Amino acid sequence: EDKVVQSPLSLVVHEGDTVTLNCSYEVTNFRSLLWYKQEKKAPTFLFMLTSSGIEKKSGRLSSILDKKELFSILNITATQTGDSAIYLCAGNQAAGNKLTFGGGTRVLVKP
Amino acid sequence: NAGVTQTPKFQVLKTGQSMTLQCAQDMNHEYMSWYRQDPGMGLRLIHYSVGAGITDQGEVPNGYNVSRSTTEDFPLRLLSAAPSQTSVYFCASSYAAGGTSYNEQFFGPGTRLTVL
pLDDT tens for each residue of A40-96: 889 999 989 988 888 899 999 999 999 999 999 999 999 999 999 999 999 988 766
Q: Pick from B111, B69, B104, B106: which is nearest to B87 by CA? A: B111
pLDDT-derived band at A105 (thresholds 50, 70, 90) equals very high
> What is the average pLDDT across B13-39?
94
Alpha carbon distance A99, B1 (integer Å): 25
Residue type, B16: G
CA A26 to chain centre: 15
Query: What's the pLDDT band for B24 if we cut at 50, 70, 90?
Result: very high
Chain B residues in contact with A49 (beta carbon < 8 A)? none
Provide the pLDDT for residue A95: 67
* pLDDT at residue number B42: 84
C-alpha to C-alpha distances, B65 to A41, B20, B43, B62, nearest whole angstrom: 24, 9, 18, 8
Task: Locate the chain A residue with the closest alpha carbon to B104.
Answer: A45
Q: Testing the interface with A: which of B32, B105, B106, B112 to mutate, by most A Cβ within 10 A?
A: B105
Report whether A103 contacts A37 (CB < 8 A): no
Q: Lowest mean pLDDT: which of A1-15, A56-70, A72-86, B28-42?
A: B28-42
Task: Provide CB contacts within 8 A for A51, sequence distance 6+.
Answer: A65, A67
Residues of A with CB under 8 A from a CB of B: 4, 6, 9, 31-32, 34, 41-45, 48, 50, 88, 90, 92, 94, 96-104
Please say if the pLDDT value at position B37 is more than 70: yes
B100 has a pLDDT exceeding 60 = no
Residue B2 has a pLDDT of 79
